[in-house]
Structure 1
Amino acid sequence: MVREQYTTVTQDIDLDRTENKYVYKIGIYGWRKRCIYLFILLLIIILIVNFALTVWILKVMWFSPSGMGHLLVTQNGLRLEGESEFLFPLYAKEVHSREDSSLLLHSPQNVTINARNDTENVTGRLTVGPTDVETHGQHFKLNSNRGKMLFSADETEVVIGSDKLRITGPEGAIFEHSVETPLVRAETFKQLRLESPTRSLSMDAPNGVQIKAQTGGIEGSSQMDVLLHTIEGMIMLDAETVRLPKLPLGKQDGSGDLQKLYEVCVCPDGKIYSAAANVRSMCQKYNHICH
């Protein structure tokens, strides 16, 4: 509080001294002053609480110059130590585990991996569910460690690039349509059987079909007819013994009964029958079998 007095004094003229008393109060007083002090005290308390919370968050989240807790920032990207849980989608260019441990993706429902293009459209998808594994894409390819293609599939064909395809199921393999392969072979000491229960079985090759059994026999059976057809070549039965046990047998004469010799006759329509052998051919005698 300042009190100013203005006094006019003259040397020549003696006037009566007049005193004007004016008091000016500068500052904030009363309840306004108390409110300001209370507000400043509240700001200090809030500042201290914020500083304490910041220190607590830094301590709880394990913030450090190299990262946050198990999340470390390296030159190659981000590194997570231990188990990590993601509540929302994760976008990354590359995800790999440590050299001394495996990478485990765990989910109570499905694990889905999507590949997107520049327009954010899904071009490939891999879904691992509790009961099945699904993949969606234009082309599926499986390679070995050396880069050799083992399996490839698309809308037009499926290619198996391994040297051998082994099917160990007791029922074998079922193909609804044609199969193209250079070799069909059974496992060692096992039988090879090609069967068509309700339709026909056809084997075609431009340079010939070879059926070979190393130590056993070859058996072919059919409910209806077995046809051996060639266009330009011939059908050759080359064996030490060729037997046709169920051929129709013509009437035998005395010589045939004694010698037990028979000749094979062929009808014009291709039917084969047997007749008792004689000095001359007996096929003409028993050609009634052809009718």
Structure 2
Amino acid sequence: MVREQYTTVTEGFHLERPESQHVYKIGIYGWRKRCLYLFVLLLIATLTVNLALTIWILRVMWFSPTGMGYLHVTPDGLRLEGESEFLFPLYAKEICSRVDSSLLLQSTQNVTLSARNSEGEVTGRVKVGPQMVEVQSQHFRISSEEGKPLFTAEEQDIAVSTGRLRVTGPEGALFEHSVETPLVNAVPFQDLRLESPTRSLSMDAPRGVHVKAQAGKMEALSQMDIVMQSTDGVLVLDAATVGLPKVKQGTRGAAAGSPHGFYEICVCPDGKLYLSVAGEATTCEEHSHICL
């Protein structure tokens, strides 16, 4: 409370104070004062709670001068330690692992890697799902460490550029259509088998087909016919012994005309072979009824 007083003091002069005085009260009283104190208390409590929450978030999120938790900011970009989970798409120019560890991408549904152009259109995509791995691209290529292409797949052509293609499955390789190759070779000490269970097997070459078994035998089995044809050359069977155990004979035995048991092979007009007892001259005409 402040009182305004006007007093003039002069030496030898006495002035009496007037009876009327003006008193002005300055301040906040009553319910306004109580509201102000309550507001200040609420403000202090709010600041205290905010400060406590900020400190708690900093401790939980592991904020540090170099980053946040396992995420560190380096001059080369961001470095992430340990396992992390991304709930939304991740956009990055390059993702690489540490030198002493591998990079693992794992998902409960599928993992999809997409490449887009400047207009946002997908130009390439790799999708790894629980049942299938799907690659969507115009060209697919697998290269060696030196950069040599090993496997290339395009819309019209598939190329395997390695020196040897090995199929280690117990059932071998299954081809629904034609196969073009300069060499078909078996694994060492294993048999090579070319089989068509329900259709025919045909081997064609413009300059000949060479079949060679270096340490074993060669068998050609068919339920119906085996046709070996040469349009411009001859068919040569070059071996120490050529055996035809089931060829029909023109006579009943060797004693019928050949005391030494020699035979000659005769050919019918349709290509059928039969045996005829050898004599001083050919005896094929005598037993030509086999061709009927």
TM-score of the two chains, using structure 1 as the length reference? 0.83
**Aligned equivalent of 1:115:** 115
**Aligned equivalent of 1:10:** none
SS in 1 for 2:265: strand
**Aligned equivalent of 2:76:** 76
Deviation of the 1:90 alpha carbon: 1.9
- Classify 1:186/1:34 alpha carbon distance in 2 versus 1 (closer, same or farther; 3 Å): same
Deviation of the 1:226 alpha carbon: 1.1
Matches within 5 A, 1:159-198: 159-198=159-198
**Aligned equivalent of 2:213:** 213
SS in 2 for 1:48: helix
Distance, in Å, in 2 between the alignment partners of 1:170 and 1:60 is: 56
Contact 1:5–1:20 under 8 Å retained in 2: no
**Aligned equivalent of 2:285:** 284
Identity, % of aligned pairs?
A: 62
**Aligned equivalent of 1:14:** none
Contact 2:266–2:276 under 8 Å retained in 1: yes
Could you report, residue by residue, the CA deviation over 1:135-164 in whole angstroms, capped at 9, with x for unpaired residues? 333333222222222222233333222222
Deviation of the 1:185 alpha carbon: 1.2
- Classify 1:2/1:189 alpha carbon distance in 2 versus 1 (closer, same or farther; 3 Å): closer
Contact 2:258–2:279 under 8 Å retained in 1: no
Deviation of the 1:108 alpha carbon: 3.3
Matches within 5 A, 1:34-49: 34-49=34-49
Distance, in Å, in 1 between the alignment partners of 2:60 and 2:281 is: 113
Matches within 5 A, 1:8-157: 28-157=28-157
- Classify 1:173/1:3 alpha carbon distance in 2 versus 1 (closer, same or farther; 3 Å): same
Distance, in Å, in 2 between the alignment partners of 1:2 and 1:179 is: 114
SS in 1 for 2:290: helix
Distance, in Å, in 2 between the alignment partners of 1:268 and 1:84 is: 81
- Classify 1:212/1:31 alpha carbon distance in 2 versus 1 (closer, same or farther; 3 Å): same
Distance, in Å, in 2 between the alignment partners of 1:126 and 1:151 is: 17
TM-score of the two chains, using structure 2 as the length reference? 0.83
Contact 1:117–1:123 under 8 Å retained in 2: yes
Distance, in Å, in 1 between the alignment partners of 2:126 and 2:66 is: 34
Could you report, residue by residue, the CA deviation over 1:10-29 in whole angstroms, capped at 9, with x for unpaired residues? xxxxxxxx998766666544
Deviation of the 1:234 alpha carbon: 1.8
Equivalent position amino acid for 1:286 in 2: H
SS in 2 for 1:51: helix
Contact 1:256–1:262 under 8 Å retained in 2: no
Distance, in Å, in 2 between the alignment partners of 1:67 and 1:275 is: 98
Q: Quick check: 71-80 or 107-116, which moved more?
A: 107-116
Could you report, residue by residue, the CA deviation over 1:153-184 in whole angstroms, capped at 9, with x for unpaired residues? 23333322222222222222221111111111
Deviation of the 1:287 alpha carbon: 2.1
Q: Quick check: 101-110 or 165-174, which moved more?
A: 101-110
SS in 1 for 2:259: helix
**Aligned equivalent of 1:250:** 250
> Unaligned regions of 5+ residues in structure 1, if any?
7-17
Contact 2:255–2:261 under 8 Å retained in 1: no
Contact 1:61–1:69 under 8 Å retained in 2: yes
Distance, in Å, in 2 between the alignment partners of 1:286 and 1:68 is: 100
- Classify 1:27/1:160 alpha carbon distance in 2 versus 1 (closer, same or farther; 3 Å): same
- Classify 1:279/1:135 alpha carbon distance in 2 versus 1 (closer, same or farther; 3 Å): same
- Classify 1:188/1:4 alpha carbon distance in 2 versus 1 (closer, same or farther; 3 Å): closer
- Classify 1:34/1:234 alpha carbon distance in 2 versus 1 (closer, same or farther; 3 Å): same
Establish whether residue 263 from structure 1 lines up as the match of residue 264 from structure 2.
yes
- Classify 1:269/1:56 alpha carbon distance in 2 versus 1 (closer, same or farther; 3 Å): closer
Contact 1:112–1:126 under 8 Å retained in 2: yes
- Classify 1:246/1:62 alpha carbon distance in 2 versus 1 (closer, same or farther; 3 Å): closer
SS in 2 for 1:45: helix
Deviation of the 1:109 alpha carbon: 3.4
Deviation of the 1:202 alpha carbon: 0.6
Distance, in Å, in 2 between the alignment partners of 1:265 and 1:224 is: 22
Q: Quick check: 275-284 or 36-45, which moved more?
A: 36-45
Contact 1:153–1:159 under 8 Å retained in 2: yes
Q: How many residues align?
A: 281
